[in-house]
Amino acid sequence: MKIEHLISQIQKKQSFLCVGLDTDLDKIPTHLLSEEDPIFSFNKAIIDATHSYCVAYKPNIAFYEAYGLQGWKSLERTMDYLNSQYPEMFTIADAKRGDIGNTSTRYAKAFFESLNFDSITIAPYMGRDSVEPFLQFEDRHTILLALTSNQGAFDFQTKKLEGQALYKEVLEVSKSYKNAERLMYVVGATKATYLSDIRKIIPNNFLLVPGVGAQGGSLQEVCEHGMTAEVGLLVNSSRGILYASQDEDFADRAADQARSIQQEMARELAKFKKA
């Protein structure tokens, strides 16, 4: 998907919400467990109920791999459904991969070609030749982990590498990668105050922001420090939407949650335009 298409979807829907499909058989409504493919049935119901309020879906690959072959099948069916029914949606494989050259190319093919995702999350630790194979794919996007929302982010990411925080060095160095215009970055919402610094290094790239809601980040703060003229934000919510209810009304309650976030986003977009 071209970035212009994502931007126009955000404006049209007045939403930059990404719904995380972290589908967990222990948490979905029990009446679905008798279905032939409960994970897909759940995803389909969530997608049908929330698609008007969001611009992206992000399956976390761990949740599918945990169920082996069956999980992989549910992921394939979910992607087929999304790509055929809602081709306007931006899709993110939250895979956090990262390996050397020819192995990265394998992962890129698995996610960009076989599964037809628009983007994938990548760990930067192995550097340039682990990232550039993903950047070769036109109209596909590579979302580099920069500053994550978990406690462990302070183990390395915020420590100083040659005088500046490692996560900033990741932003800085990755700007010189071939096809760097296809890069986006993960920045945890629980660290919204870091966003102004980040925008000094990468003024335009899209940021994928997890951690609003359940993990305690503030949407308003994220927008204040991270929004650009082309919005430049995708804010993710997973559990808060998926598991709003565990009863038969789960899809309606998920829609309520997504709509409520979308409305808050519309207010932030209006605020930014005015300012």
Provide, for the chain, the percentages of residues in helix, strand and coil under a 3-state DSSP scheme, each rounded to the nearest 5: 50, 20, 30
31 vs 159 by CB, closer to its own copies: 159
Partnered with residue 145 across adjacent β-strands are 186
Min dist. Cβ of residue 14 to its own copies (A): 30
86 vs 154 by CB, closer to its own copies: 154
12 vs 160 by CB, closer to its own copies: 160
Alpha-carbon distances of 192 from 121, 150, 189, 200, 216, rounded to whole Å: 20, 13, 5, 14, 11
94 vs 268 by CB, closer to its own copies: 94
Min dist. Cβ of residue 127 to its own copies (A): 3
H or E element that contains 216: none
Enumerate residues 6+ apart whose C-beta is below 8 A from 31. 248
Min dist. Cβ of residue 91 to its own copies (A): 16
Told to judge if 160 belongs to the known catalytic residues of this protein, a careful annotator would answer no
CB 185, CB 144: distance < 8 Å? yes
CB 119, CB 90: distance < 8 Å? yes
| Cα 194–chain centre separation | 19
CB 16, CB 24: distance < 8 Å? no
66 vs 229 by CB, closer to its own copies: 66
Residues forming contacts to its own copies in the complex (CB under 8 A) are 22, 60, 62-63, 65-69, 72-73, 76, 94, 96-101, 103-104, 106-107, 109-110, 114-115, 123-131, 145, 148-157, 159-162, 166, 169-170, 173
Choose, from 27, 44, 73, 96, the residue flagged as catalytic. Answer: 96
Min dist. Cβ of residue 158 to its own copies (A): 10
Q: What's the sign of the alpha-carbon dihedral 163, 166, 171, 173?
A: positive
120 vs 265 by CB, closer to its own copies: 120
Angle CA(93)–CA(205)–CA(165) in degrees, nearest 5?
Answer: 90
Min dist. Cβ of residue 163 to its own copies (A): 9
Min dist. Cβ of residue 272 to its own copies (A): 29
The token duo for 150 is 């978990």
Decide: residue 57, CB within 10 A, 0-12 exposed, 13-18 middle, 19+ buried. buried
CB 171, CB 198: distance < 8 Å? yes
- Residues involved in catalysis: 96
